[in-house]
Amino acid sequence: MKRVTGIGGIFFKAVNPDGLQSWYEKHLDIKPGSEGSVSFPWREAEQPERKAHTIWAPFPSDTRYFDPSNAPFMINYRVEDLDALLEQLRQEGVTIDDKREESEFGKFAWIMDPEGNRIELWEPAVGC
């Protein structure tokens, strides 16, 4: 079973998320979408007909979304089979958050690395 298939998103804290997005738009032509994040489209190497994307998004510096991590960032990794991966990680002793989410974008879960960084795992819905 493949574990991680790519990076689904890069999230980081910013003192002024809107101002920072404006700076990136002005100087690097990175334009946010309607929800304030940027979506970089790409295609999977082994399945080039399958479209995918990576999200880039600054969060307010006081966000609790990265908790319990103290890191100013969080990486979202794309996975093929979230439930199977979580079971395997559990057997390996990885710290797994009890929280789960499911939406039109797919299934989400969170784990912690040994240095206390929160990691988001995402099994994309078809077409994401």
Give domain limits for the chain.
4-117
What separation in angstroms does the CA of 89 have from each of 23, 27, 48, 72, 86?
39, 41, 29, 24, 5
Instruction: Please write the tens of the pLDDT for every residue from 5-45.
Output: 889 999 999 999 988 888 898 998 888 876 778 888 888 88
Domain 4-117 matching CATH 3.30.70.1380: the answer reads no
pLDDT score for 52 = 86
Determine if the pTM surpasses 0.75. yes
Nearest to 76 by CA among 48, 31, 106: 106
